Structure 1
């Protein structure tokens, strides 16, 4: 039980990769703080099943984040690790996307992660904690009809590298992951936005993947668990 007595905050944990990460860490003893933007029935059920503390906050509303972290500290007195997993994505042709949509994507993905981490760092220095930030393969490569999302994820890659250097001297370990296409509910949204069926969107993405298939959330959760492992301290500022 390598995460026994660890209080781990996971943003965007209601479904998909965030939920898989939560389940994996819970199975290894973690005490979970789970974030989603709404306390709907699905999120209530997730928190109940995983015995998790709900940290409800729309991370694009940056002023709300400090209040949530204050509530977590009031409840547990500490935060050991943070997984900045949340994301907002809306695909569309570059010339058709409005500035408002770009700002929403950047606010949620890049600034939301920055403020979340900033508010946690004081507490992570006390626990010698770890941070894992979820970027995307598209942040490395770019992707047609996903310029805003890919740009925000590229910013997260640089954030990982910068924070890795800046926070390591005070005992906080920062790394990131850049998953390719993963079979999550987001693919259903992609299919709708692209006017494709789910089989069509899966085939479209699989064409560009050496394995010939999209990844699973459980595969991503295994990587995050490795990066958070208390015995893993040599990797700093890296993207997996």
Structure 2
């Protein structure tokens, strides 16, 4: 599934079939990027590709498990061939099922950390040569406020904290190549993940959302577009002196 337009800069967004990833892909398309839309199922990416094309952009949908080394290498190679060398990467793909530590299996731990931490490593490693060749690049890693601790998801919180360390190390190593690396740590954002949390707790989502909003200083929960706005700044030329930072997009300070 490919729609191309010549002369576009190329970005890759993982986990882009829906939610935050889809909002980021749409925003980057409006700003002139061709977008590699990566998710587990290529067919699930159809709506995002259609939205990108509708915004006058170009897109390629690619199915890949970001924790699979061979799948990642193939996906990045295909996007580079069809849209051009990627110089913007948004590592957004993530999973976060809840599990008590004493009930958590090794396989569950490996799956969650595989998608949330190994995945960004694999995709970044595959994309970096294109950025280095261009002498310019922007990497945005999607962490979470869970990085400061998550009692319900120790695997997820650990992976998201690791992603912050990964981001800062990338900034130190890659800055000399004109590449910046930053992390966004969203708070409560309307998404499949927060809807799943409400279901697990047996709560109506709108009530769950309203309850969360009451604890947020700005008085509302986040929308995927709130994260896309921040990505837009971080990948822009205006953010060239911003690197190795964690931006909490949570409607208030995070301890």
TM-score bin, normalised by smaller chain = over 0.9
Once the two structures are TM-superposed, the CA of residue 187 in structure 1 deviates from its matched residue by 1.4
Q: Which residue of 1 aligns with 2:183?
A: 176
Match of 1:50 among 3, 27, 52: 52
Q: For each residue in 1:22-63, what CA deviation from the matched residue of structure 2 results, as whole angstroms up to 9, or x when unmatched?
A: 1111112211111011123x4223213323111210112233
Q: Distance in 2 between matches of 1:169 and 1:123?
A: 15
Q: Distance in 2 between matches of 1:143 and 1:208?
A: 17
Q: Distance in 2 between matches of 1:230 and 1:29?
A: 13
Structure 1's 118 and 151: CA in aligned 2 closer, same or farther, altered over 3 A?
same
Q: Distance in 2 between matches of 1:211 and 1:143?
A: 22
Q: Which residue of 2 aligns with 1:101?
A: 108
Q: What SS does the corresponding residue of 2:246 show, helix, strand or coil?
A: coil
Asked if 1:37 is matched to 2:37, the reply is no
Asked if 1:230 is matched to 2:237, the reply is yes
Larger relative contact order, structure 1 or 2 (CA cutoff 8 Å, min sep 6)? 1
Once the two structures are TM-superposed, the CA of residue 165 in structure 1 deviates from its matched residue by 0.4
Q: Distance in 2 between matches of 1:163 and 1:112?
A: 15
Once the two structures are TM-superposed, the CA of residue 216 in structure 1 deviates from its matched residue by 1.1
Q: Which residue of 2 aligns with 1:118?
A: 125
TM-score by length of 2: 0.87
- Contact 2:25 2:48 (C-alpha < 8 Å) held by counterparts: no
Structure 1's 206 and 234: CA in aligned 2 closer, same or farther, altered over 3 A?
same
TM-score by length of 1: 0.92
Once the two structures are TM-superposed, the CA of residue 203 in structure 1 deviates from its matched residue by 4.1
Once the two structures are TM-superposed, the CA of residue 207 in structure 1 deviates from its matched residue by 4.5
Q: Which residue of 2 aligns with 1:163?
A: 170
Once the two structures are TM-superposed, the CA of residue 107 in structure 1 deviates from its matched residue by 0.3
Q: CA RMSD in A?
A: 1.6
Once the two structures are TM-superposed, the CA of residue 125 in structure 1 deviates from its matched residue by 1.1
Q: How do 1:74-93 residues align onto structure 2 when only pairs under 5 Å count?
A: 74-93=81-100
Q: What SS does the corresponding residue of 2:151 show, helix, strand or coil?
A: coil
Structure 1's 206 and 143: CA in aligned 2 closer, same or farther, altered over 3 A?
farther
Match of 1:136 among 137, 141, 144: 144
Q: Distance in 1 between matches of 2:163 and 2:50?
A: 31
Gaps of 5+ in 1: none
Q: Which residue of 1 aligns with 2:156?
A: 149
Q: What SS does the corresponding residue of 1:195 show, helix, strand or coil?
A: coil
Q: What SS does the corresponding residue of 1:80 show, helix, strand or coil?
A: strand
- Contact 2:143 2:184 (C-alpha < 8 Å) held by counterparts: yes
Asked if 1:195 is matched to 2:202, the reply is yes
Question: Which structure has greater strand proportion?
Answer: 2
